[in-house]
Amino acid sequence: MSGKIKNKSILSEPLIVRLTLIVLAILFLIIFLGLPIAVIFKEAFELGLNNYLTSITDAETVSSIELTVITTFVSLILNLIFALAAAWAITKFDFRGKNFILTLLDLPLTISPVISGMVFVLLLGSHSLLGQYLNQYDIKIIFAAPGIILATTFVTLPYIVRELIPLMKEQGRQEEEAALSLGANGWQIFFKITLPNIKWGLMYGLILCNARAIGEFGAVSVVSGHIRGLTNTIPLHIEILYNEYNFSAAFAVATLLTLLAMITLFLKTLISWKFK
């Protein structure tokens, strides 16, 4: 039968078209992804391995890493609690104003991070009413770690909850209702039924949120005040080094972020593969 050969030519494009498309895609990837990453590593190691190691073990760098880790961890925990509560409420109950909350959840994605940071400065800075009140009790939020955590949490708020809502909506309430009719209480239903059903989606959301929290620049930059060794996160520290023409140090620290991004990407792929 000659049908096979005919089908093949119907189902695929001519060789020239296929080659052009493939070459275009690969070129694009090299120029926009491959080269920049290569440059980061090249610049970082330009002055040798020793210089690289001193750059990333420098006291200010270490303190920026510490601050980033703490900020990311706290905002992950806050977002986790918030996302579970919000997704649970939105998907398992009917109430007035649900759509309003859903719209509100997207706000941090649509607002520029710089504005997000400014909002907190205006709200809690020393010139605001709330800021003056906090000052009386000597509580510092803006230009201190709490402000950075607040801004990071705000910016990363939608990531987990947006992962959970469609998933939980699709799963519906039936399993929960079944558990209820079998005599389970709220906590039992949550831990034995709901959580196992959403665990992969939750992990996925956590990883996305984590990646975003580590790399957040705009909002954090506004509320941090750039106090060296105190309120600098990794991205802010890189900027300072770069502005001081200390390129190899800036790129050395940047490799840390790049590695973190790659690990995140790997975990994300692993989980989405498991999840699907």
Site residues for another protein per CB under 8 A: 174-175, 177-185, 188, 192-193, 196-197
Which CB, 34 or 196, lies closer to another protein?
196
Which CB, 5 or 182, lies closer to another protein?
182
| Least distance CB 174 / another protein (angstroms) | 4
| Least distance CB 47 / another protein (angstroms) | 53
DSSP string over 124-160:
HSTTSHHHHHHHHTT---TTSHHHHHHHHHHHHHHHH
| Least distance CB 182 / another protein (angstroms) | 4
- φ and ψ of 211, to 5 deg: -60, -45
Region label for 139, one of left (φ > 0), alpha (ψ between -120 and 50) or beta (otherwise): beta
Which CB, 198 or 249, lies closer to another protein?
198
| Least distance CB 142 / another protein (angstroms) | 45
Which CB, 36 or 172, lies closer to another protein?
172
Which CB, 50 or 174, lies closer to another protein?
174
Kindly provide the b/e burial profile for residues 213-247, where b requires at least 16 CB atoms within 10 angstroms of the residue's own CB. bbbbbbbbbbbbbeeeeebbbbbbbbebbeeeeee
Which CB, 178 or 265, lies closer to another protein?
178
Amino acid type, 116: S
What are 232's two structure tokens? 């600098």
d(CA 157, CA 76): 9
DSSP string over 186-239:
HHHHIIIIIHHHHHHHHHHHHHHHHHHHHH--HHHHHHH---TTTS--HHHHHH
